[in-house]
């Protein structure tokens, strides 16, 4: 079940990407490129966070390691916040 959801989320995101509904962004953590799409929540396919290979791996590695749940949540929230900031910044730049 979870696997299907994941697959669908990836498909939807890839489709949206092709439709130019969103562009790839610099890594939410370090700002470098190229980046990969990361889904903090597979029920929201378009809600993606862009991460470089290094930070993407790091994030998944962290989530595999047993840590208190709150810590993991904080990390995801942090990323979402950073992602929103990046989008806001790019939108401001696009308007200029
Ligand atoms: Zn990075
Ligand atoms: Zn990921």
Question: What's the pLDDT tens digit per position in 57-71?
Answer: 888 876 655 555 555
Q: What pTM was computed for the model? A: 0.53
Cα→Cα distances 68→10, 21, 40, 50, Å: 27, 36, 17, 24
CA–centroid distance, 80 to ligand 1, in Å, is: 14
> Does residue 83 surpass a pLDDT of 60?
yes
How far, in Å, from the CA of 84 to the mean position of ligand 2?
17
Distance 21 CA to ligand 2 centre (A): 20
Alpha-carbon distance 65 to 67, whole Å? 6
Q: What ligand has the least distance to the C-alpha of 41?
A: 2
Domain ranges of the chain: 2-95
Q: 14-19 long-range CB contacts below 8 Å, 24 or more apart?
A: 16/45, 16/46
Ligand number with the minimum distance to the CA of 10: 2
Asked if residue 34 has pLDDT above 90, the reply is yes
Phi, psi at residue 37, to the nearest 5°?
A: -80, 135
């Amino acid at each position: 079940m979870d696997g299907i959801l994941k697959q669908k989320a990836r498909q939807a995101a890839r489709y949206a990407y092709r439709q130019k509904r969103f562009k790839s962004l610099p890594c939410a953590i370090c700002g470098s490129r190229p980046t990969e799409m990361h889904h903090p929540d597979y029920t929201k396919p378009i809600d993606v966070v862009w991460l470089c290979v290094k930070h993407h791996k790091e994030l998944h590695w962290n989530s595999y390691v047993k840590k208190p749940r709150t810590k993991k949540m904080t990390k995801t929230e942090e990323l979402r916040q950073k992602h929103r900031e990046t989008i806001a910044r790019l939108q401001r730049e696009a308007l200029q």
